[in-house]
Structure 1
């Protein structure tokens, strides 16, 4: 999908969209393919896999911490 199609329905300028896409590209979350004078963007599954791996480490950590916070808040109410 090109940048113009991505902007449809959003109030964002072309330069702002280009900046966002550049950041996503540098983070390896999207990749681009040039077709003539157009540039098409697509999600980079490898980049998303890295995010999923990073989140997985914290997924195991947070339920225990949230449970402890609930106990603490309950104790504070009493």
Structure 2
């Protein structure tokens, strides 16, 4: 039970903070890129720029997750973020 309480009081609030900060930006760039690709209305340069931006966000996300109190929960954090 202590692990569950720890997760709910320490880990989950951090996961929620990271998701709230990270996901909207990721989702916007991803949808913009994929929508434009589907419509064939994006240049290779713009697609590469968007993908580089996504990569930078992913690296930042990894750094954010690595500072969580129990870094072993990084996978759960990623799943929470992706599933939103």
Using the size of structure 2 for normalisation, the TM-score is 0.37
Q: 1 or 2, which has the higher helix percentage?
A: 2
Higher strand share: 1
